[in-house]
């Protein structure tokens, strides 16, 4: 945001507290750990998460095999919600 001359004060909603249900905390942490650079980009912006990055984050966060299917599904839900938000003004 700095390169555009913007600050967090320009977007107070970004610093507002958010409630995360305990059942979703692991997925939120995983999604955040992916960072901003792990999105596939097309001519109209983000098209989805770079799935090859999931393995690295999964290893770094020590996600065990039994918990992976549920966590992966939660990440996909978050991915779709993020894409909907990113592209909400495209229509």
The 3-class SS string of 45-68 reads EEEEECCHHHHHHHHHCCCCHHHH
pLDDT at 3 over 60: no
Q: Is 89 left (phi over 0), alpha (psi -120 to 50) or beta?
A: alpha
60 vs 4 pLDDT, higher one: 60
pLDDT at 50: 95
pLDDT above 90: percentage of residues in the chain: 58
What's the domain range around 77?
21-86
**Structure pTM?**
0.77
Helix 52-60 / helix 68-86 crossing angle, nearest 10 deg: 120
Q: Which two tokens stand for residue 72?
A: 């992966």
For residue 7, being part of any structural domain is answered with: no
Given a cut of 70, whether residue 91 has pLDDT beyond it is no
pLDDT (0 to 100) of residue 16: 72
> To the nearest 10°, the Cα dihedral for 33, 26, 85, 2?
-30
Residue 67 lies in a domain: yes
Residue 71 lies in a domain: yes
Tell me the pLDDT of the chain averaged across its residues: 87
Q: Which two tokens stand for residue 50?
A: 């770079």
């Amino acid at each position: 945001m700095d390169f555009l001359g913007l600050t967090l004060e320009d977007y107070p909603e970004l610093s507002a507290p958010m409630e995360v249900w305990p059942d979703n905390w692991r997925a939120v942490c995983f999604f955040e750990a992916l960072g901003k650079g792990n999105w596939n980009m097309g001519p109209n912006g983000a098209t989805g998460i770079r799935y090859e990055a999931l393995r690295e984050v999964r290893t770094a966060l020590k996600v065990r095999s039994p918990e992976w299917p549920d966590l992966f599904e939660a990440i996909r839900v978050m991915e779709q919600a993020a894409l909907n938000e990113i592209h909400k003004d495209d229509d």
